[in-house]
């Protein structure tokens, strides 16, 4: 077993799904440019299986599939044509963004087609007045944050994986991040979505209105759905004004009860200015100091840190 790979229960492959063939790969070549297709010899392609390694395994190398075909569309229409064909021919598909998840949701279980959205990476529009950003689902979160920073705004979420995670994956998993306290969840920040349904139908609800009480709010169904209801290809999100300054405080506290009390006090004194509040214990601090070669920012050791 490869280093770092762990055992986990893998369900049997369903016989309802078709085994891929070279005919399927040839059809995909009529939909999208050949250079956006990675297919191994097992399905009539020429790609080295090593090229598919990054698509078949998660970041921790715990979950691993055996896909022989990766499709990297550049447009929503290409995504639609792909899903339409797969739906009609009973071909299993797994959507994949930055593949930064740690629970195996973005990698194939068996030999599903990997639908990678990394080529859908265009900013479609930005409204300087409202701060509403409309972009492709494959845009990297950090790159979007840099883009709106030049315009005096900030993305409403921030993650440790911001340098590689995609905004579409953030929405699909309803990622919270460390700015949750101040800006809330993506259920409130996302104003509209463009989604391709399993049969290839394109659902365009890319509204840029923050106050929109007309009809059903369909986008909420797809936020947190993890690709089970459709593939997100476009996102409309409101970006708050960027703070003029950011201050960080590190506290050492004697008990978990004090962690909670400090949180109550921080909310009372800071109000809506408080953007993040995190705590860790002595064992976590020790591990970080040992493996990162850092020193404790405080002069004494504590059971808990904030």
Model pTM greater than 0.95?
no
CA distance to 27, 124, 237, 238, 270, per residue, from 153 (Å): 43, 17, 12, 10, 21
Nearest to 142 by CA among 170, 180, 104: 170
Long-range contacts of 215-222 (CB under 8 A, 24+ apart): 219/190, 219/191, 219/192, 219/193, 220/187, 222/171, 222/172, 222/193, 222/195
Q: Is the pLDDT of residue 212 over 90?
A: no
Q: Is the pLDDT of residue 102 over 90?
A: no
CA distance 179 to 155: 9
Of 52, 101, 43, 58, residue with least CA distance to 72: 52
Q: Tell me: the pLDDT tens digits for 53-89? A: 999 998 888 889 999 999 999 999 999 999 999 999 9
In this prediction, residue 8 has a pLDDT band, given cuts at 50, 70 and 90, of low
Structure confidence at residue 6 as a pLDDT band (50, 70, 90): low
What confidence tens digit (pLDDT) does each residue in 264-291 have? 999 999 988 899 999 999 999 999 999 9
User: CA–CA distance from 227 to each of 21, 174, 275 (Å)?
Assistant: 24, 11, 29
Give the helix ranges, DSSP H, for 241-281.
256-270
For 126-132, the CB contacts below 8 A with 24+ separation are: 126/151, 127/208, 130/208, 130/210, 130/238, 131/238, 131/239, 131/240, 131/241, 132/191, 132/208, 132/210, 132/236, 132/237, 132/238, 132/239
- Percent share of the chain, pLDDT over 90: 83
Residues 150-208 pLDDT 10s: 999 999 999 989 999 999 999 999 998 889 999 999 999 999 999 999 999 999 999 88
223-238 tens-digit pLDDT: 999 999 999 999 999 9
| R_g of the chain computed on alpha carbons | 22
Q: What is the mean pLDDT of residues 128-140?
A: 97
- Mean pLDDT value across residues 98-112: 90
Q: Are 65 and 109 in contact (CB under 8 A)?
A: yes
């Amino acid at each position: 077993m490869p280093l770092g790979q762990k055992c986990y229960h893998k369900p049997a492959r369903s016989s309802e799904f078709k085994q891929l063939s070279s005919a399927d790969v040839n059809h995909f070549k009529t939909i999208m440019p050949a250079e956006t297709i990675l297919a191994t010899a097992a399905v009539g392609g020429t790609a080295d299986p090593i090229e598919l390694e990054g698509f078949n395994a998660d970041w921790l190398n715990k979950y691993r599939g055996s896909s022989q075909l990766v499709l990297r569309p550049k447009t929503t229409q290409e995504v639609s044509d792909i899903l339409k064909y797969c739906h009609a021919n009973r071909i299993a598909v797994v959507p994949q963004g930055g593949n930064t998840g740690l629970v195996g949701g973005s990698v194939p279980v068996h030999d599903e087609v990997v639908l990678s959205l990394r080529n859908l990476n265009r900013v479609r529009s930005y409204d300087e007045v409202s701060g509403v950003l409309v972009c492709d689902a494959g845009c990297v979160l950090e790159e979007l944050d840099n883009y709106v920073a030049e315009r005096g705004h900030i993305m409403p979420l921030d993650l440790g994986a911001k340098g590689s995670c995609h905004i579409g994956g953030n929405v699909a998993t309803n990622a919270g991040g460390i700015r949750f306290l101040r800006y809330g969840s993506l259920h409130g920040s996302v104003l509209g979505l463009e989604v391709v349904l399993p049969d290839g139908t394109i659902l365009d609800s890319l509204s840029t209105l923050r106050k929109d009480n007309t009809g059903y709010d369909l986008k909420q169904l797809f936020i947190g759905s993890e690709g089970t209801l459709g593939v997100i290809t476009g996102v409309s999100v409101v970006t708050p004004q960027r703070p003029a300054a950011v201050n960080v405080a590190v506290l050492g506290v004697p008990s978990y009860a004090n962690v909670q009390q400090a949180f109550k006090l921080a909310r009372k004194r800071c109000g809506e200015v408080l953007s993040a509040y995190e705590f860790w214990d002595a064992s976590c601090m020790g591990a970080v100091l040992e493996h990162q070669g850092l020193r404790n920012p405080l002069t004494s050791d504590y059971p808990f840190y904030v």
